[in-house]
Structure 1
């Protein structure tokens, strides 16, 4: 997983070289105005909650982004390859929402935890996501791929293809190792379960609870 993260960061560097961030900034400002321009300051500090909507598990990459904002009527799909500035755009939107006093849920990517995958601003019924679950559902599109200078990017065409293939292979290997570890964990657990005194555990739980409540 760590190796896949390193190679992904190398892909990001190549894309950054080919990006017109002036255009990206323009798109970001228009988006901020569209989403937050008419929102009045709430005269309170907005609350930010950081979570994950996707996980790398023994069963593969599991994603539940489609369940995070079932009732949202304003969903923006942020389109763009690695390094096109999707996470930075999402960060600017959520931080401006916090400044307005809005509460925001921020969902990070499981491979590079600092990168943002989705934000949900429930107070104004707005969600923004890079999840491909939303690319075909007639949601509002913000396309950062159109800010790529393909003349520059084409110089790295073969390297990028190799890097992306390698990232996929490393992820597959990582998941296979997690699966193997889970299998061994389950085997150990099987031995422990049959040899545990669960009555003692219950009594210990009650004691701990009583100690905690003493602090009131």
Structure 2
């Protein structure tokens, strides 16, 4: 009986606004149940019950988390080619519904999320200055050689007799409680993990993109996990058919080898001018202070957004009928697993 579930996010309140990979994850499914504005406590119960039903049916479950507070947002049952997803009323993907709700708490939720986005965008501009220090001291030929060597090590001449596919997600999010990730969960059943070390601007994302494109072209299904702060960048690639993960193991998701087969790939050592950290220590320290200040302001706005939206949810909870909710849950289960 399956006892392993994947946990991840498909949306992020990022420096580029709210960016969702809903289509990448749900567009391929035969059956999709879309919920609109269900309170998170209800969604959690629905997802938990579906997971229990999945285990009883010998199926796996993929749990999707809300990027604001890490609550349950949905579930995918791969063996049933089906999924359930809840769109909060503040979600842009359900804006036509939210737009007709004349609710001050909901309006304030939007205001706070927009403010958080501006602070994240300001942090990205500061981060760009941080990157420029290392870009100016990069040996790009050395970085390209390291990528080629890693591709040879990970994929080599292996190919599969099928067309490779990519799916896009996030392994973490900037939540009201700060950065949170599911790297351990997503990689726990893999035999090999590569910890990519480096600095801002040292090409970790480019490194991962090259591996993802090569593996996909070779016929492998490729899980691509984007940076929750900047979705244009990649933070992890998983090739489950090869039982391999490669991920950006730097702050705010810094990990260190803990298994015998874990391996570090240090782009800074391989491709950056020696002692760059020391040479620019003063500038880097100042940049880090400004960057963390903007991230802190964004996190406070996310916390305010959650408080307002919690009030919205409390109002809706008070109006819910337990009997009607039970009927709805039964219909959802029947739709996913078949009546």
TM-score exceeds 0.5: yes
Q: Can you list the C-alpha shifts for 1:187-211, whole angstroms capped at 9, x where unaligned? A: 232223223567778889999xxxx
- The aligned counterpart of 2:15 is none
Q: Is the 8 A contact 2:195 2:257 kept in 1?
A: no
Which one of 134, 137, 149 corresponds to residue 18 of structure 1? 137
Equivalent in the alignment of 1:131: 249
**Counterpart position of 1:179:** 303
Tell me if structure 1 keeps the 8 A contact 2:223–2:237: yes
Does the C-alpha gap of structure 1 residues 105 and 159 become closer, same or farther in structure 2, counting only changes over 3 Å? same
* Contact kept? 1:18, 1:153, Cα under 8 Å: no
In structure 2, the gaps of 5 or more residues are 1-119, 332-339
Any idea what SS the aligned residue of 2:223 has?
A: strand
**Greater relative contact order (CA < 8 Å, ≥ 6 in sequence):** 1
C-alpha deviations, 1:46-88, integer Å up to 9, x for none?
0100000010111211111111021111111111011111110
Tell me if structure 1 keeps the 8 A contact 2:127–2:287. Answer: yes
| Aligned pairs, number | 207
Structure 2 CA distance for aligned equivalents of residues 154 and 60 of structure 1: 29
**TM-score if structure 2 supplies the norm length?**
0.56
- Whether contact under 8 Å (1:8, 1:167) holds in the other structure is yes
CA distance in 1, matches of 2:278, 2:201: 15
8 Å contact kept, 1:76–1:141? yes
**TM value normalised by structure 1:** 0.85
Residue 230 of structure 2: aligned partner? 112
Task: Give 1 or 2: higher helix fraction.
Answer: 1
> Which of residues 178, 203, 209 is equivalent to 1:85?
203
Gapped regions of structure 1 (runs ≥ 5): 208-216
